Amino acid sequence: MKTVILAGGYGSRIAEETILKPKPMIEIGERPILWHIMKVYSHYGINEFIICLGYKGSFIKDYFINYASYNSDVTFDMKNDSINIHDKISEPWKVTLVDTGLDTMTGGRIKRVSKYIENESFCLTYGDGLADINISKLIDHHKKSKLEATVTGVSPPGRYGVIESKNGLVNKFSEKTNQTDMLINGGFFVLNPSVLKKINNDQTVWEKEPLENLAKSGQLGVYKHDKFWQSMDTLREKKILEDLWQKKKAPWKLW
């Protein structure tokens, strides 16, 4: 199964960092948060990624083009015009980087990479959130539900829009609330290829019409994850993740 990662947004709420680099390239413990997300999926045997690029996408391309040299000792022989990478550090990953447009909405980005999905069920996540989620159980849950889509519901502080669910199905999405006992969209989706037909164009917001229509038709299931989940929208949230990593208490480090 392939994983699509949304990595093209401006990240304006953490502009102190994104003025220089795209949000998924903000580092947690000297590695981009994008790398941490991919390592979680890779732990569960998912090693093929389709990354939706937009704002400063060239930074992400450069990172993967030079991945071996960034993560290994390198000798540059100027006289003989040669480069020797010592003890190459590699991952079992196949990464497809797709320019999905600078101002394309989340749904439009997914639509633009549809040819790489190849009419198969796929995972989808955002390039700015980490969790100790069991991806294998999430996929199994989706398959058993026989629904078109599954969203992971999490319970962080209530400044987000919430998911209202009953009997394992999403009923509707509500506006932000101060209640902390309700679920929000934590990303980490599993989707059937049929959902791509529910995305109209570049200006379609995945979290609006497509998800809302799936919910109305009883085709959006929820997988409840009640352990660690943390998005990185602000410098404060980046510090939370960084502190956990530096103290070797990062719950998402499953590898």
Domains belonging to the chain, first-starting first, are: 2-246 (3.90.550.10)
Look at residue 155 and tell me whether its pLDDT is greater than 90: no
Look at residue 43 and tell me whether its pLDDT is greater than 80: yes
- Name the residue type at position 32: P
Look at residue 218 and tell me whether its pLDDT is greater than 70: yes
pLDDT at site 168: 87
Q: Distance between terminal CA atoms of the chain?
A: 19
User: What percentage of the chain reaches a pLDDT higher than 70?
Assistant: 95
Look at residue 5 and tell me whether its pLDDT is greater than 80: yes
CB contact set of 232 (below 8 Å; sequence gap of 6+): 14, 23, 26, 28, 33, 128, 129, 130, 238, 241
What is the average pLDDT across 100-104?
Answer: 97
pLDDT at site 206: 98
Structure confidence at residue 179 as a pLDDT band (50, 70, 90) = low
8-state DSSP, 8: -
